[in-house]
Amino acid sequence: MSQTTTAQGVQDFFKRATGSLIDGAFLDEGKSFEVIDPATGQALTTLCEGDRALADRAIALAKESFEDGRWSGLTPAARERILLRFADLVEAHTEELAQIETLNQGKSINLSRGIDVGFSIDFIRYMAGWATKLEGSTRAVSIGMPEGAKFNAYTLRQPLGVVSAIVPWNFPMMIALWKVVPALAAGCTVVLKPATETPLSVLRLAELAIEAGVPNGVFNVVLGSGSVVGTRLAEHPDVKKVTFTGSTAVGKQVGHAAVEHMAHSSLELGGKNPMLVLEDADIDRAVNGALMGGLFNQGQVCAAASRFYVHRSIHDTFCERLAQAIDTLQAGPGMDPQAQVNPLVSRRQQESVRGYLDRAREQGARIHVGNEVPTEGFYVSPAIISGASHDMEIAREEVFGPVLTVIPFDDEEDALRMVNDSELGLAASLWTNNLSKAMALTPRIEAGTVWVNTHVTLDPAMPFGGFKMSGLGKEFGPEAVNAYTELKSVCIAY
Ligand code: NAP
Ligand code: MG
């Protein structure tokens, strides 16, 4: 196996980036911290972290940048053009961005190129187009007072103002863009905090946005811990919307902090996503779907398939084929395009996933583990748990790792009960060739997205966001951009 050579642009960027990016410039003040390569456990570079005072400074700047109209005052077409130029620059820097993401996050360079950067380009272009398509509507009002008066009423969409965005480490640049681009399309200004593990790609993105013509002060990145910088971004009274992706526990705190000053909030909080495989399903297709839906990005995906309810008549075959498939996968660093099993993001995440597996083993679970993985770096070999019970911890909690838990069922109603018996409800998939069953079951599955015969299939036009404890609000589609606007009613008497 041979590794991709690190591009000159990446090395130059590591030298140039010193810390938070505020008002168009990198800062080099504050406590320094190392950014780790998960494939080696060694430092890639060192950055300076921000603190509460820097979060305040960035919010003040974003407020000033909103109020002086340097961005919100542009015509929608001008904002659209700049965002399209931003997409072109991201495309032109595909290799550089993909390498930064792989070196920092651990994932395969193929995934970084195709999804993290590739999907992001499509996403930016899609959202750029909404800048010119925000609309209100006229309303047929019947106000009868005073007698003889006439009224014209309509709704108006206006940008909210300063948005703070707090994002996780699993898709550092992509999830950041899901928040930043609709906010910018609507005319808002942004302060973004990446996860401490993965600050690099968003810093490069912010540079490219500025190069594309987003004025200084409109898109700022503050580095620092969630407990200090994240808390401040959520609670600051000048922030009009807090948009968060991460754990349910932190999401609740962020939502509470936002409502204290009546800021809007959008919370995308992960899932324990079921895949329901009916007796008539195409088993090869379902196995491929499980591998893709469950092991993509080492299972560190909020919408990952992680609990599989499989009809007892096909359960053993399903598990055998999964086991055969994972036995062919070879581990290696993300920079090696041949490596199919890559490290998890951090030692902490590796230990967390191993802990779930150890406890499942102690509870008597039948576990098939894939090939050996390197001891250097944060690898976990993929694991299939077969014949599991729905009540086991591993079947109920979000593991966020390469672990597929398969549970047999006999009765479809019973399977549906187990599918819905979770606090979480982000996404689910149903595998069947029976159209009537698909039509009957999809409305009964409690999840924000229900896929049929596919899993983790996203599109910028398709709203994405959870039911139940998986969160509030939607990313993607016009719903996402509208959520960065305030809806005003205007009523004119004449
Ligand atoms: P997390 O703690 O929820 O972190 C997500 C983001 O929130 C990070 O930027 C984090 O900053 C920040 N944060 C942490 N505490 C905060 C606070 N009190 N106020 C405001 N912001 C705060 O998630 P994690 O610890 O990285 O991962 C834990 C688990 O969450 C995972 O195992 C997984 O189950 C779940 N998760 C879900 C998603 C998803 O896509 N929905 C993504 C990642 C993780 P720092 O990292 O700098 O502390
Ligand atoms: Mg964290």
The per-residue pLDDT for range 193-221, each reduced to its tens digit, is 999 999 999 999 999 999 999 999 999 99
Supply the residue whose CA is at minimum distance from atom 41 of ligand 1.
270
Q: What is the mean pLDDT of residues 165-171?
A: 98
Point out the residues that are catalytic.
268
Supply the residue whose CA is at minimum distance from atom 12 of ligand 1.
226
pLDDT at residue 2 is higher than 90: no
Any atom of ligand 1 within 6 Å of the Cβ of 245: yes
Q: How far is CA 222 from CA 47, 200, 229, in A?
A: 11, 12, 8
Supply the residue whose CA is at minimum distance from atom 35 of ligand 1.
247
Q: Which residues contact 246 (CB under 8 A, 6 or more apart)?
A: 166, 167, 168, 195, 268, 269, 270
pLDDT at residue 226 is higher than 90: yes
Q: Which atom of ligand 1 is nearest to the CA of 175?
A: 40
Interatomic CA distance for residues 159 and 147, integer angstroms: 36
Q: What is the mean pLDDT of residues 14-20?
A: 98
Tokens of 149: 């008066």
Q: Which atom of ligand 1 is nearest to the CA of 169?
A: 43
Tokens of 306: 């992680």
Tens digits of residue pLDDT in 412-466:
999 999 999 999 999 999 999 999 999 999 999 999 999 999 999 999 999 999 9
Q: What is the mean pLDDT of residues 31-37?
A: 98
Any atom of ligand 1 within 6 Å of the Cβ of 226: yes
CA of 59 to the centre of ligand 2 (A): 22
CA of 195 to the centre of ligand 2 (A): 6
- Per-residue confidence (pLDDT) for residue 491, from 0 to 100: 98
Kindly report the average pLDDT of the chain as a whole number: 98
Q: Which atom of ligand 1 is nearest to the CA of 225?
A: 47
Q: What pTM does this model have?
A: 0.98
Residue for token digits 């324990």?
272
Q: How close are the terminal C-alpha atoms of the chain, in Å?
A: 76
**What Rg, from alpha-carbon coordinates, does the chain have?**
24
Interatomic CA distance for residues 489 and 79, integer angstroms: 24
Share of the chain above pLDDT 90, in %: 99
- Per-residue confidence (pLDDT) for residue 238, from 0 to 100: 98
CA of 386 to the centre of ligand 2 (A): 31
CA of 453 to the centre of ligand 1 (A): 30
- Per-residue confidence (pLDDT) for residue 166, from 0 to 100: 99
Cβ atoms of 104 and 200 closer than 8 Å:
yes
pLDDT at residue 1 is higher than 80: no
Q: What is the mean pLDDT of residues 100-125?
A: 98
- Per-residue confidence (pLDDT) for residue 366, from 0 to 100: 97
Q: Which atom of ligand 1 is nearest to the CA of 268?
A: 41
Tens digits of residue pLDDT in 460-488:
999 999 999 999 999 999 999 999 999 99
Nearest to 200 by CA among 32, 19, 3: 19
- Domains of the chain, earliest start first: 8-269+471-493 (3.40.605.10), 273-460 (3.40.309.10)
Backbone φ and ψ for 189, nearest 5 degrees, come out as -115, 160
